[in-house]
Amino acid sequence: MLRSILIANRGEIACRIARTCRRLGIRTVAVCSEADAASPHARAADAAVVIGAPPVGESYLRTDRILAAAREHRVDAVHPGYGLLSESPGFARAVEGAGIRWIGPPPEAMEAMALKVASRALAIRCGVPVVPGSEPVGSEDEAVSAARDIGYPVMLKASAGGGGIGMLRCDDEAALRRGFPQTRRRSLAAFGDDAVYIERAVVRPRHVEVQVLFDDHGAGVVLHERECSVQRRHQKVIEEAPSPLQDEALRLRLAVAAASVARAVGYVNAGTVEFIVDGEGGYWFLEMNTRLQVEHPVTEMITGLDLVEQQIRVASGEALAFGQAQVPRRGHAVECRIYAEDPERFLPSPGTLTVFEPPEGEGVRVDHAAEPGMAVTPHYDPLLAKVVTWGEDRAQAIDRMREAIDRFRIEGVRHNLPLHRRILASDAFARGALHTGLLAELGYRI
């Protein structure tokens, strides 16, 4: 077992990793910007190192400063969390080049999944369906030609993208021509690569993802699927596990497809294979996220597994202690992401938290790194907390979530608790009739 880990992240995920390490008796080192020097995540670790100014480019994205902190404290491994440098093959290689374990997949697997066109080709070789799409297009006219061949509506997508960044639906040629330069600019700003491609838009799609876990000895398991269809601007808002899909045969096909893609790329550690699903049993590979997901707690709640612990054990060289037949699926779990943002326009709401009182109760878990007096700054993602509820069935998990959201008190910044109340009260959500346009149907501009 690893003895010491540097957590190359901040906020709630850094606190969550530190919590597991403490239970396992592993020493932790936090890195933090000057703005986070006294933050909960800095205090959650056994030691904390200030590595730069508040902007992420001067702190949390500085590989040299992170590795200097790792060497100073003689850590065995680095856990990247999610976001920031978690899917950077260059950072992973730098960590390994410094003689430190990387708690994540091999850099080669990360590279294979990073470019969406290349990952689509790999899925095709595995016999996994993909949505009809193009190669990267270099000009507006090439994009228009590709869209005519594929058929409208289409999605403009950043080839190096992920997390919904750089995605735009176009219903006709005029919209495609307007959106093409905009998508390229967003892609370049977010990923340093302005390559885009065209993909057919699936009408009223569901977004379903499958959690996989592989060790370094050739063994792997599927830890069921999660439903992530409730989104705004291609960003997830509510997730649940398992999916309320009623088609067990489709559930099995998704699991088999996810395992096939992971094996084909030589995957090790925890990862997520994402799919688009329609209302008629069709499914298509979307992408693979080569890291821990924000929504991993719902999988933990239904399996009883600590995914961070499993990541650490795999990185320590251990073989998985269980096979597919030993992976439980108990009850149902729902997660609501609580942001400091305008609940109507989805714009960040910086300020100072004056009240922060998360709910408690049976079947309720809240992952957060917030406290009264804390400044919510424009430098970082405005995620305040993740509320997770578990129930014997979906109805009970939703009832517990409604009660938890009603008990949550936040003051000092605007927040999206009203959005969650409205979604949870909707008939479509209660019935599990989910798709990525649900918020638009509820009257939100997404």
What pLDDT does 37 receive? 96
Question: Is 80 exceeded by the pLDDT of residue 424?
Answer: yes
Confirm or reject CATH 3.30.470.20 for domain 206-441, answering yes or no: yes
Question: Is 70 exceeded by the pLDDT of residue 289?
Answer: yes
Which is higher by pLDDT, 189 or 417?
A: 417
Lowest mean pLDDT among 48-52, 134-138, 228-232: 134-138
Check if 291 is active-site. Answer: yes
- Give pLDDT tens digits for 193-225: 889 999 998 888 999 999 999 999 999 999 999
What pLDDT does 163 receive? 62
Q: Which of 101, 186, 291, 337 is catalytic?
A: 291
Which is higher by pLDDT, 111 or 166?
A: 111
- Give pLDDT tens digits for 48-71: 999 999 999 999 999 999 999 999
Distance between CA atoms of residues 431 and 427, nearest Å: 6
Confirm or reject CATH 2.60.40.10 for domain 132-200, answering yes or no: no
Please state, rounded to an integer, the average pLDDT across all residues of the chain: 95
- Give pLDDT tens digits for 91-110: 999 999 999 999 999 999 99
Tell me the longest C-alpha to C-alpha distance in the chain: 59
Question: Is 70 exceeded by the pLDDT of residue 6?
Answer: yes
Q: Across residues 152-169, what is the average pLDDT?
A: 84
How many angstroms from the chain centroid is the CA of residue 417? 20
Q: Across residues 276-300, what is the average pLDDT?
A: 93
What pLDDT does 445 receive? 79
Q: Across residues 374-381, what is the average pLDDT?
A: 94
| Two domains, one topology: 4-103 and 206-441 | no
What pLDDT does 162 receive? 67
Confirm or reject CATH 3.40.109.10 for domain 4-103, answering yes or no: no
Question: Is 70 exceeded by the pLDDT of residue 412?
Answer: yes
Q: Across residues 412-425, what is the average pLDDT?
A: 97
* % of the chain with per-residue pLDDT over 70: 99
Domain ranges of the chain: 4-103, 132-200, 206-441
Question: Is 90 exceeded by the pLDDT of residue 384?
Answer: yes
Question: Is 80 exceeded by the pLDDT of residue 349?
Answer: yes
- Give pLDDT tens digits for 319-336: 999 999 999 999 999 999
Per-range mean pLDDT, top range of 46-60, 130-144, 181-195: 46-60
Question: Is 90 exceeded by the pLDDT of residue 234?
Answer: no
Which is higher by pLDDT, 39 or 445?
A: 39
